[in-house]
């Protein structure tokens, strides 16, 4: 164990911590984390909020763990034996940690090969925008590149082929639309009509209102010429699965049909996938950053070494996705109140379903 330099770094910090016994959280004093081999210590500047944050508090996070996943900040200390030895104190860093599992927040520790360097010279992305390339970007990239055999840039798919993004205005959806377009696909996305223009601005060729399932399915099949064989369902509920699965081609004549989900598939969804002959699998970005994770209902997710290797590569390449390939962050809603604002405002907005087509970003402190 390597302790940060206590002359420059405080021993305690403010953190959003899951309660010892209740399914609640509170902002309280908390120890600055120790560093293990391959860790860097980041003083957090901004965080972006995800639905998984409040769900960890309400359902499956560990007692006394700090909550939250997406971050940006400044490197203030280095552990021993870094896999990525290019990190230096003062570098700007961003990435994902598995909030609700460990004891970090205002300062956090992250493996050196599981964070990316925010370019100080970038005119596109700074510390405010960087945490938006967290769970949403990582999940979309993992689903497309590691699960759906989408060509990794600069490679592109051959010929005209369609890709479906169900929930195109979600955080994952907006990134998935861009990555599919980057790979040379034509993209059809579902969203509400009020978000049509936004999703088209992010690259969708066609947008479809999901509210009438039969009409949506018919339209997607018409747009794609009944040839669809790859897609991502960011909502992953029975209602969305009926549209996505029924929109796919009827056979594997043009290649194996694959659908990625972000939640466990329902029994009804599983039966429909089997009937349609579509390989429908759940994608967990946690397999990129955690060894083992226990969800509710006795669901255990194991880390996947190949996924950790993929995420390390993605972190190295994230600046190129931004600077060279112009992958844009989600629209941002700046929130006030820091850590307390997350607890008092951010969680309530997300639980009430009042966050749409935007990412809530909180400034934690100056770095």
Q: Express as a percent the part of the chain with pLDDT over 90.
A: 73
Average pLDDT across the chain, whole number: 92
Region of residue 111 (phi > 0: left; psi between -120 and 50: alpha; otherwise: beta): beta
Q: Per-residue pLDDT for 7 more than 60?
A: no
CA distance 313 to 38: 16
Mean pLDDT check: name the lowest of 52-56, 142-146, 331-335: 52-56
Percent with pLDDT over 70 in the chain: 96
Ranking 2-6, 121-125, 277-281 by mean pLDDT, the lowest is: 2-6
Angstrom distance (rounded) from CA 294 to CA 286: 11
Residue 312 has pLDDT above 70, yes or no: yes
**Confidence category of residue 104, pLDDT binned at 50, 70, 90:** low
- List the alpha helices (DSSP H) in 48-159: 51-55, 135-141
Compute the distance between CA of residue 321 and CA of residue 230 in angstroms, rounded to an integer: 22
pLDDT for residue 141 is more than 90: yes
Q: Model-level pTM?
A: 0.93
pLDDT digit string, tens, across residues 189-247: 999 999 999 999 999 999 999 999 999 999 999 999 999 999 999 999 999 999 999 99
Beta carbons of 291 and 245 less than 8 angstroms apart: no
Give 288's DSSP letter: G
Separation of alpha carbons 303 and 229, rounded Å: 27
Q: 65-81: per-residue pLDDT in tens?
A: 888 899 999 999 999 99
pLDDT per position as a tens digit, 39-71: 999 999 999 999 888 888 888 778 888 888 999
In the chain, where the domains are located: 12-133+329-363, 137-283
pLDDT of residue 5: 43
Residue, of 270 and 20, whose pLDDT is higher: 270
For residues 115 and 304, the model is more confident at 115
Could you read off the pLDDT of 79-100 as tens digits, one per residue?
Answer: 999 999 999 999 999 999 988 7
Residue 206's pLDDT is 98
The answer to whether 164 touches 232, Cβ cutoff 8 Å, is yes
pLDDT at 296: 61
Per-residue confidence (pLDDT) for residue 229, from 0 to 100: 97
- Flag whether pLDDT at 36 surpasses 50: yes
Say whether domain 12-133+329-363 belongs to CATH 3.40.1390.30.
no
* Domain range 137-283, CATH class: alpha beta
């Amino acid at each position: 164990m390597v302790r940060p330099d206590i002359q420059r770094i405080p021993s305690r910090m403010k953190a959003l911590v899951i309660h010892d016994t209740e399914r609640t959280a509170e902002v309280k004093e908390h120890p600055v984390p120790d560093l293990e081999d391959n860790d860097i210590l980041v003083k957090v500047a901004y965080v972006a909020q995800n639905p998984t944050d409040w769900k960890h508090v309400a359902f499956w996070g560990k007692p006394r763990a700090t909550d939250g996943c997406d971050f940006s900040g400044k490197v203030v200390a280095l552990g021993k034996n870094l896999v990525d030895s290019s990190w230096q104190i003062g570098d700007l860093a961003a990435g994902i940690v598995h909030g609700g599992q460990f004891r970090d927040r205002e300062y956090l520790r992250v493996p050196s090969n599981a964070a990316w360097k925010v370019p100080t010279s970038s005119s596109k992305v700074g510390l405010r925008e960087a945490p938006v390339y967290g769970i949403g970007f990582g999940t979309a990239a993992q689903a497309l590149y590691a699960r759906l055999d989408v060509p990794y840039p600069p490679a592109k798919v051959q010929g005209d082929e369609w890709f479906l993004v169900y929930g195109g205005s979600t955080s994952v959806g907006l990134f998935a639309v861009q990555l599919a377009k980057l790979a040379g696909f034509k993209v059809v996305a579902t969203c509400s009509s009020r978000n049509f223009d936004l999703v088209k601005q992010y690259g969708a060729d066609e947008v479809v209102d999901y509210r009438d399932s039969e009409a949506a399915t018919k339209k997607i099949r018409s747009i794609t010429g009944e040839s669809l064989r790859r897609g991502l369902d960011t909502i992953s509920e029975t209602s969305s699965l009926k549209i996505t699965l029924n929109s796919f081609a009827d056979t594997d004549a043009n290649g194996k049909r694959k659908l990625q989900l972000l939640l466990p598939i329902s029994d009804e969804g599983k039966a429909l996938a089997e009937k349609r002959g579509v390989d429908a699998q759940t994608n967990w970005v946690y397999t990129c950053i955690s060894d083992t994770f226990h969800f509710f209902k006795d669901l255990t997710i194991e880390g996947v070494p190949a996924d950790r290797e993929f995420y390390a590569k993605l972190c190295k390449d994230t600046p190129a996705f931004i600077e060279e390939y112009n992958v844009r962050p989600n629209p941002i809603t700046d929130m006030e109140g820091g850590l307390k604002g997350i607890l008092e405002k951010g969680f309530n907005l997300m639980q009430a379903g009042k966050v749409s087509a935007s990412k809530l970003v909180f400034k934690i402190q100056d770095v």
